[in-house]
Each structure stands twice: as structure tokens, then as C-alpha cells.
Structure 1
Amino acid sequence: MRLGVLDVGSNTVHLLVVDAHRGAAPLPAYSYKTELRLAEHLDKEGKIAQSGADELVSFINQAAELAEDKGCESVLAFATSALREAPNGEKVLERVRKETEIDLQVLTGDDEARLTFLAVRRWFGWSSGRLAVFDIGGGSLEIAAGSDEEPTVAVSVPLGAGRLTREGLTQDPPDKDEVRALRKRIRMEMAAVAGTVLRAGKPQRSVATSKTFRSLARICGAAPSDDGPYVPRSLNRDDLAEWMPKLTKMSAAERAELPGVSVGRSTQLVAGAMVADAVMDLFDLPSLEVCPWALREGVILSRLDQLQPR
């Protein structure tokens, strides 16, 4: 069957069309996305502004038409922290349903962590044993760990790269005092949940997903995306530690010239790198393997699992 998956994130709104059936890996057939940066369309009260809602509705209408043109049987549409946390999020959702006929479901942070974990488990398989999975989004960091397809622990922490950049880094290049204060905040908030994750047991395989981790791995020497998804990639703690002082001294424009870093993501790279550094430090991980599957694939796999076998 052909499915459309519409992912409304804090940074990007992405329609992915896949050919999928139960028991097989979903195969990407078409991709259409824009860096809407919904979390930046907020007023002083934290509500999504009219401009942001207008752009969201416009893109979803385009995505719905494209999904129909590509022959999708259905569209699985979900949203993450930007809509989840906005005081007027439900009103925006109702407008989307009314004007686009797309039922946009808001995932909880724990749902994000759980579904991302499912995708990573299916990618690496049972031989990985106990998994620990880390995903840096625009608004939050998701952490999940366990030995089955359902994680033993799944938590969401408000340490997304976009959020931290907006709230903690006001200058370009970042001010050293702001960097120090943000580093302290990240480590305090992460330490508050680290014990819960580690108490369930030391992971046998530690994995990172998301664009932020992929960009950092590419900067530190991992293979480019053009080499395909099956090339092993990892982010090493020592390599990232060597890059950290360089990244904090660069402007966003300079970071955008690094391999694997887009202009839109370059502003958030320092905050994302600080989160990645804290993850590997506080969880005592010398490296993280990078998985090409993440939340979108988890949503697809979960949907396929609900289908009756032929």
C-alpha cells in the first residue's frame, strides 16, 4: 500500500510518501518539505500567530493534493512539541481539520520517544540487545531505552535545539557567558532524567537519530548522505569535543558552509551540539551510532502493525 506521512515538527513540515506493507521495510517514494519553523511563529503569550497558522494550513493543503496525486491510500498526519505546547494549539488543529480535511494528531513527548525507539529497534534488530535511543528535535530531546520493541523507559525533555537557541543564544557567534549558562541548564535538566534511564540497565547499543545528530556526525567525518542509508555512521565523543570550541566561535553563515549543515539548521547547531555532548558525557557513551530511521518510520511501522495480515 502507498501511504503519506505528514510530520509537523518545530522546524520542518514534511510529507513523505512510502510504499509499505506489513513485514517489509517502508520504501520512500516521494518527499516534499519546507522549513516552516512553527515554533518561531509565536506571540508573547506563546500562541501560534496568525502568520504561522496560515502557512501551516497552506502547506498541508499542498501536501494533501500531492499525496492524492501520488496515489496514497491514506495520510498519517502528526504534530510534535510546537503544537503540543501552544496555548491555542487545539484551535489551530481544528482549523487544519476544517480547511484541509486532514486529521492532525498531536503526539505526546513519550509517544515520540516510544515510536522512535520502535523504528530504531526494527532497523538494527534483536541482536542489538538493550537499546538506548536519543533524538534531538526542535523543541525537545527524546530518550528511550529497553530490550523489547516497547521501551522500558521513554521520556521527553525540553532540550530541543531550536528551543534552546531561541531561549539561550541571542548573539551570532554565541556569547561565551550565554554558552556557559546554557551548558549548565542542559546538564541540569538532563541529569534529572538520566538516573531513570540508567537504572533500567546499561545499554548494549546506543543510537542517535534526527537531523541534528546526522549533521554533527557528518562534520566529525561520517559518510555523506549521498552514500545511502546502509553505510554505518557514528558520532564519536572525542571528535565532537574537538569541534565544540570551533562551533561556538563560528557565525551561523560559517557553520552553514560545513558538510551536512543546511542554512536553516546552522543557527541551531551550537545548541544541538551542546545537547549531544551532554548526552554522551552524562550517559558515559564514547560514541553513538546514527540510525537513518526515526519518528516518521516509527509512525509508519506502528500503523502497519495494526493491519490484519493477508
Structure 2
Amino acid sequence: MRLAMLDIGSAAARLDIVDLASPRMPRATWSVKSRTRLAEHTLPDGRVTEEGIADAERAVRHCVSAASDKPTEALIAYGTSAVRDASNGARLRKRLGEAAGVRIGVLTPRDEAAVAYHAARRWHGRSGRAMTTVDIGGGTVDVATGTGTDPDVVVSLQHGAARLTRQFLPDDPPTPAQLADLRHELHATIPKALRRVEGGHPLALSKVLRQLAVLTESSLDEVARRPHRLRLKHLSRWVPRLAELDHEERAKLPGVSRSRGRRILAGAIVAEVIMESLELPELEICPWGLRQGLVYRFLEARTRTRADALDLVGTLFD
């Protein structure tokens, strides 16, 4: 059996064909990606412009069309915070659903964090050992901790890298006053919000954190293409340097994609404050996250009946 999964995010839409018959972790055997540019076209009030909706529609149509000759049992399509939190989200989801040919689901921030944690737990190993996951997305920052296959505590904050860039860093590069305002906001909210997080083995899940790891672990002579960790002492050295560059200059740095050239600075500052608040000298890079977690949820439902698996969209997503 093969499952198609369409992830619609703030930077891109990605469709994976996942082989569920694999004896090990079900993996993507085919993938296609297309830029949505939703973050670029989201206004300060949270509304996605008509141009942004059209760009996202084209990205979704491209992905679905590219996969049209690949037989699958089901297509699960979902939007992350860029879709979920848009003030015109109902219209956006309707248009994207028409482009995809299926309903576009969204998870609550807590459910999204819990599903990603579940995947990280399976990647990291058996339950019983405390584990904490950190996921910096475009709209939210999610921290989850626990000792089992599902988290005991989930903290979700409206401090995603794209959202903070729109709200606090409108200039490119930002002014010192804008940076000071951002840091004031984060220091006023993050340490207090994370008081219930008791620690455990720390894992980094998001692309922003993976790109920061590549950047901060690279040297003048060699690019660290697949670093195993993001270290606070290296990150703190890079934050002032990122603040001096505009988004095009940042996108030329090792590991930083063009689509994240604007938001990487806000992401770096959020990561720094979280690691300081939890007293974490480093985060281990975990390659699994929401997509893998949803595959596992689908497989768990499929062990009961095929209908249960296909009902996943109606039970897990809003």
C-alpha cells in the first residue's frame, strides 16, 4: 500500500508517496515540492493576499498533478500554521482543497506538537526516558516533553519565525530597536511558559533548527551538511552576524534556504532564548517530525480496519 501525503506550509507544498509495506520505517519513495510563498503574502493582520492564495493554489496543483500517474490508496492533505492561523483561513482552505481535490485538514497546535513528538520518540528509541522536543515553525513554537510515546506536557506559543519577522522585524536588516523589542517579548513570555517543561533528552525537529545547525557547525573550509546537533555557544555567536545581513545575504550562507532568508534571524533568536530558558547547551537534530508522525497515526488506525485509516482525516484534523 502507498499513501500520498500533501503538506502545505508557509514556504512550500510537499507531496510524498509513502511505502507503507516497508519492513522498517515507512519512507517516502517519491516526492515533489513547490513554493507556496504563504509567509511572504501574509499581512500583519494575518490575512493571506489574493496573490498569496493563487501562488499556494498553483503549488498544490503542481504537486497533485505531478503525482497523478502514481497509484495510491489515499491522499491526506493538511496545512500547517500558515493555513490554520490565516484570518481568511476558511477561504484559503476551500481554494486549496479545490486545487488538491480533497479536503484540507489542519491540526490544533497541541495536536501538531504531540504528533511530531510521537515521531521523534519512535526515532529516538523506547519510551521510559524523558525527552523534550523543540519545533520552531512559521507561526508557532512548540515544546513537548514526556517519558512515554505521547507527551505529558505541550507548550505552544505564537512565536513562529515567520510570524515574529512580520510583527517585530519589518526592516531588512532590522534596526537595533526592532531587535530589542523582539528580545523583550521573548524574554517576557518564553521562560514563564516553559516552567512546566522538566527537561529530558532534547531534540530539534524543524527545518529552521536544522538549517541553523548546518550554518553554525560549518567552518570556513567545510560545510556541515548533516550536523548531529545545534550548540548554543555557536548559535549565540551567529545571531549578531545574522542581524547585520539582509535576507539575500543570509540566503548565501551555508544551510540557509532562500525561502527562509528573512525568518532565519527570528528563528535563531527564539532558539537561543528557549535553550537558555531550559538550560540546554545543545539540541540533537532529529530528522523525523509531523509527516512521519502522521504516517504512524495512519498505520495505527489501519491495524484496525482500512475504514478506520481513511477516517483519520475526519478524526485527527479539524
SS in 1 for 2:283: strand
For residues 42-121 of structure 1, what are the structure 2 equivalents within 5 Å?
42=42, 45-121=45-121
Name which of structure 1's ranges 232-241 and 62-71 shifts more when overlaid on structure 2. 62-71
2:209 maps to 1:213: yes
CA contact (8 A) 1:22 1:305 kept: no
Deviation at 1:26, TM superposition (A): 1.8
| Counterpart pick for 1:263 among 258, 263, 283 | 258
Cα deviation for residue 135 of structure 1 reads: 0.5
Structure 1 residue ranges without an equivalent (≥5):
none
- C-alpha distance in 2, partners of 1:75/1:46? 28
Counterpart Cα distance in 1 of 2:137 and 2:217: 22
Aligned partner of 1:251: which letter?
A: D
Cα contact 2:34–2:60 (8 A) shared by 1? no
| TM-score normalised by L of structure 1 | 0.90
2:60–2:99: 8 Å Cα contact kept in structure 1? no
1:256 Cα deviation (Å)?
1.5
Secondary structure of residue in 1 paired with 2:76: strand
Which blocks of at least 5 consecutive residues in structure 2 are unaligned?
A: 306-318
> 1:67–1:75: 8 Å Cα contact kept in structure 2?
no
Please give the per-residue CA displacement for 1:223-251, whole angstroms capped at 9, x wherever unaligned: 96866xxxx60011111112122221222
| Aligned residue type for 1:61 | R
> Higher relative contact order by CA 8 Å / sep ≥ 6: 1 or 2?
1
Q: By how many angstroms is 1:210 displaced? A: 1.1
Q: Check 1:308–1:240 CA distance in 2 against 1; reply closer, same or farther (3 A cut).
A: same
CA displacement at 1:179 relative to structure 2: 0.8
Deviations 1:84-139 (A, max 9, x none): 22232123323333453211101110111001101100111116711100001111
User: Deviation at 1:273?
Assistant: 0.4
| Residue 283 (structure 1) aligns with | 278
Letter in structure 2 aligned against 1:145: T
Instruction: Report the 3-state secondary structure (helix = DSSP H, G, I; strand = E; otherwise coil) of the residue aligned with 2:39.
Output: helix
Deviations 1:183-239 (A, max 9, x none): 1112222123111223xxx31x10001111011111121696866xxxx60011111
Q: Answer whether contact 1:141 1:159 (CA < 8 A) is retained.
A: yes
Matches within 5 A, 1:233-244: 233-244=228-239
Q: For residue 58 of structure 1, report the CA deviation from its aligned partner.
A: 2.6
1:36 and 2:32 correspond? no
Letter in 2 for 1:292: P
Kept in 1: contact 2:130–2:146 (CA 8 A): yes
Letter in 2 for 1:233: H
Decide which of 275, 281, 287 is 1:292's aligned counterpart. Answer: 287
- Percent of aligned positions that are identical: 35
- Greater mean deviation of Cα atoms: 48-57 or 164-173: 48-57
Mapped to 1, the partners of 2:135 and 2:76 lie a distance apart of 21
Paired residues of 1:15 and 1:63 also in contact (CA < 8 A) = yes
The answer to whether the 8 A contact 2:35-2:59 is kept is no
Q: Offset at 1:167?
A: 1.1
Deviation at 1:170, TM superposition (A): 2.0
In angstroms, what is the RMSD of aligned CA positions?
2.2
Q: Deviations over 1:51-102 (max 9, x none)?
A: 2222223322232233332222211111121222223212332333345321
Q: In 1, Cα distance between the equivalents of 2:99 and 2:216?
A: 44
After superposing the two structures, state which structure 1 stretch, 85-94 or 42-51, moved more: 42-51
Aligned pairs, how many? 302
Helix, strand or coil at the partner of 1:68: coil
Counterpart CA distance in 1 for 2:251 and 2:303 is 46
State the alpha-carbon separation in 2 of the partners of residues 164 and 281 from structure 1.
Answer: 19
Aligned to 1:171, what secondary structure does the other structure show? coil
